[in-house]
Amino acid sequence: MYKQKYKVMANKHEYQVDLTWKEGRKGEVCSPELSDTIQTATPPDFPQGIPNIWSPEHFLVAAVESCLMTTFLAIAENSKLDFISFKSKAIGKLDKVEGKFQMTEIILKPVLEISDENNAERAKRIIEKSEKACLISNSIKTKIILEPEIVIASVGV
């Protein structure tokens, strides 16, 4: 008897996020699907902004970056690519365009550590494919710049 290993995805999904204003320029974001509540605020770059709290700008950059990771993990698994670690840094650039602020570009700098040097080009192609398949990147007009780095693990260190 055939037993399906993976869950078949539906073509439509919904993700609910609830926000409650708390005070000043600060609120809390939560979801009935998740247990954590996250504080959010205007970033300190803006008038009355609050430092050390996640801002909508951080959430947008994090959404693109984490989508790259989750898409990469799925494609790497399906491609049977072995890797040791995946880390990433993302930088979002906010500019005023035609009188309105917008995130004009997000630079993604994933670092993938692999043990087999022969898989370096393949690993890079899988990261590039992951960026092109990322549903968040495909949903926004922001320019996405991918700067992947493939690191070969040192043996015996």
Q: Where are the domains of the chain?
A: 17-54, 55-152
CATH for 55-152, options being 3.40.50.10890, 3.30.300.20, 3.40.50.2300, 3.90.1650.10: 3.30.300.20
What per-residue confidence (pLDDT) applies to 20?
98
Structure tokens at 116: 């087999």
Question: Would the pLDDT of 4 be above 70?
Answer: no
How much is the average pLDDT of 62-79?
98
- Strands 18-23 and 26-30, how do they pair? antiparallel
How much is the average pLDDT of 69-79?
98
What per-residue confidence (pLDDT) applies to 154?
84
Confidence of residue 157 (pLDDT cuts 50, 70, 90): low
User: Could you read off the pLDDT of 109-151 as tens digits, one per residue?
Assistant: 999 999 999 999 999 999 999 999 999 999 999 999 999 999 9
User: Could you read off the pLDDT of 83-109 as tens digits, one per residue?
Assistant: 999 999 999 999 999 999 999 999 999
Question: Would the pLDDT of 82 be above 70?
Answer: yes
- Conformational region of residue 48, where left means phi above 0, alpha means psi within -120 to 50, and beta covers everything else: left
What per-residue confidence (pLDDT) applies to 40?
98
Give, in degrees to the nearest 5, the angle at Cα 148 between 142 and 153: 155
